[in-house]
Amino acid sequence: MGPLDGLKVVEFGGIGPGPHGAMLLADLGAEVVRVERPSGGLSVVPDASRDFLLRGRRSVSADLKSADGRAAVLALVSSADVVIEGFRPGVLERLGLGPSDCLAVNPGLIYARMTGWGQDGPLAQRAGHDINYLSVTGVLHAIGKPPLNLVGDFGGGSLYLVLGVLAALWERQRTGLGQVVDAAIVDGVASLAQMIWSMKAQSVWEDSPDSNLLDGGCPFYSIYECADGRSVAVGSLEPQFYGLLLAGLELSASDLPEQMDRDSWPLLRKTFAEAFLTRTRDEWSEVFASSDACVTPVLSLEEAASHPHLVARGVFTSEGAAVPAPRFSVEIFGD
């Protein structure tokens, strides 16, 4: 049971943000059926046991190029609330399973389309990956190096897909009508970066990597290597937290330049780097364990699963998957 209990979703099989969005809906209680595309009629396909993105739903197969396969999918769609698809624009239209086809059999359907470039525009038919969507929106330039695909595929992709689905479902409560949701990663990434756009507009963000508070240019918002070759993350932005950082490092503010004197940031970085090299990562973790200095160990994926805070909250399952999020005042998730 969950807040979306009773919601029926049909997901066209794909990779990345589409399955992640379907997973999120399933985590919240929706009944999700994933349509795979092997040849033949409609039949049960077992989920991959270690692909956590496929959890919480059953899979069927259908040959979308056959009349029987299309009829089987439309039968599923006719009783569904939501369809999720991640093909290039026009693919499902050519197969007779586009928005107009599906809305014809189910006028209240929310037809959610997940793409990188969107349903229109000069790049709509072009291939792309997370790094490409970040590059054209200016976000990759701001970050300065290729990040994990969390920012584009999942931050700007599946999360905005789910937001669009939930908003469209709310509107359907008033109108009784479905609609098409065009979730493009480039749109979502640009929206995610709104604070950076705001800082630039206020002249507190320089359009050059490694020169700002949050992009690695700031010595008190950075990563430092320790004596054992492992690292700590420092996020001591506010003056009170910065003071605690200096205290933990046994440094005196009177011996250092002003915190916000950007011309002196290279000196501060050198000073902090030398200090952190005097102890191991875990020794520094102990120093800052009870401090609001915002200093934490940089953990590997394996280490993260056993971090006391994450263990206490039960963030990971015994198989190593993250549990559903967010949490609700009424417990909805079983073991």
Would you name the residues annotated as active-site residues?
Answer: 129, 153
Residue 223 pairs in a beta bridge with: 233
Contacts of 76 (CB under 8 A, 6+ apart): 10, 33, 35, 60
The Cα–Cα gap between 85 and 16 comes to 11
The Cα–Cα gap between 222 and 235 comes to 7
Contacts of 167 (CB under 8 A, 6+ apart): none
The Cα–Cα gap between 112 and 255 comes to 58
* Residue 157: both structure tokens together: 């992709």
The Cα–Cα gap between 207 and 158 comes to 28
In the chain, the amino acid numbered 39 is: S
Contacts of 162 (CB under 8 A, 6+ apart): 21, 24, 25
Q: What is the DSSP string of 34-59?
A: EEE--SSSSEEEPPPTT-GGGTTEEE
Please report how the helices 17-27 and 159-175 are oriented relative to each other, as an axis angle in degrees rounded to 10: 60
Residue 12 pairs in a beta bridge with: 35
Q: Could you tell me if 240 and 220 are in contact, meaning their C-beta atoms sit under 8 angstroms apart?
A: no
Specify the residue for token string 């002249």.
Answer: 203
The answer to whether the peptide bond before residue 326 is cis (omega within 30 degrees of 0) is yes
Specify the residue for token string 């993105």.
Answer: 53
> What is the DSSP-derived secondary structure letter of residue 316?
B
The Cα–Cα gap between 141 and 152 comes to 14
* Residue 216: both structure tokens together: 């690695």
